[in-house]
Amino acid sequence: MLENDIRLSVKAALDEDLGHQDAHHNQSSHHRSQADITAQLIPSDKHAQAKLITREEGVFCGKAWAEQVFNQLGGEVALLWHVDDGDLLVPNQVLCELSGSARTILTGERTAMNFIQTLSGVATLTKTYVDKLAGTHAQLLDTRKTLPGLRTAQKYAVTCGGGVNHRIGLYDAFLIKENHIMACGNIMNAVTTARHLHQDKVVEVEVENMAELSQALAAQADIIMLDNFDISMMLEAVEINSQYKTDDSSSYRGAKLEVSGDVTLETIANFAKTGVDYISVGALTKHIRALDLSLRLQSE
């Protein structure tokens, strides 16, 4: 899925810069490169070298996207990488050396850098949150609050920063929220129906109070999301969950607990210390500050 998404998202990004392809004809890479009218100022046979650097520290991510950019532009540029996804970066570090057609380097530079700066920004912020969880067993989860069209890319970046992916979309796990519960009648009905529809899918239930926590446990949810619980409620929920036993011979002994809501760099450590299993943070993929990059060109 990721490999296909990389190809499609890079194509869409290049189309933004170079104009959309004719619906009935595939443009050649040569034809696409001609669309950059500023690059036409440069002789077609002129070669150049360039260095991509970071101006600040962070976590690198986006190698495959940059490579795909220049592949789709015709492969006239060779990339020599000095970093891999997940590597820690320091200011003024060289990330990649490029050599080849000057036109192609300049045509592809912004698209390649857009992917790297965005995904590195996600990976960097993720690591900042993950570092706050040191000494606890809690794992940091992402959410579906991603930039449209970049779901898998951003979730991949989260893993590069040390985070863990929550469900990818609406198809790979159940997340039963307030409106689903209301439409189904109650938590038990919602969970029972989910099990009937897809026995192999994880069933998670969002709860807003202790009464709903008890209902989700009785329904034997796999994961229970504690929505906007304060610390005292989290501690109580962890205790109730750890002591939970069914009245029958079921092997169910409680759920994994996830905290959601009001999670910041200031609150996450104390939330994790309550003993919950997961903490989900929408900011990882929606509050993005791009990594500051620079590409320096040198003619051959």
Segment (H or E) for 64: helix 63-72
Residue pair 59/113 in contact by the 8 Å Cβ criterion: no
Give the residue numbers annotated as catalytic, written as ranges: 110, 145, 177, 206, 227
